[in-house]
Amino acid sequence: MSPHGITFDGTRFWVTHRRRDYGPFDYEWNRDFDGVELHFQGRKFGEFCSREEVFCDLKPFSLPQRVVEVAVITLGAILFGVLNGLDEAHKRWAIYDQLTRHGLDRFAKQIRRTS
């Protein structure tokens, strides 16, 4: 097991930081399909309503700052891909690209799928 990375299972993912897994992080469309809810371990922690209106608060979960950074950047890249109709390969590249741009290469190099 790598000390850092991201593991996907469908839409859910776990962030591995210092050989410890945090998650699952996930998202789902809200009931009226005008926004996307962000979840950690099945609990809502944020919502994307538009490019101008995003709310996130992972503080109650006491996660390491690096995990929060990786999770939020990953979710942002996923939402960008979904909202722009990108295929899986391009969504994965968007995640890799954004993590690398933010100095999180060690996570970007270990992106894997379980299914």
pLDDT given for residue 115 in this prediction:
67
d(CA 43, CA 84): 26
Per-residue pLDDT of 26-51, as tens digits, reads 999 887 777 899 999 999 999 988 87
Digitized pLDDT (tens) for each residue of the chain, 115 residues in all: 689 999 999 999 999 999 999 999 999 988 777 789 999 999 999 998 887 888 999 999 999 999 999 999 999 999 999 889 999 899 999 999 999 999 999 999 999 998 6
pTM: 0.92
Chain centroid offset of residue 107 CA: 12
What pLDDT was estimated at residue 114?
Answer: 86
Residue 81 bridge partners (DSSP): none
Q: 90 near 82, Cβ under 8 Å?
A: no
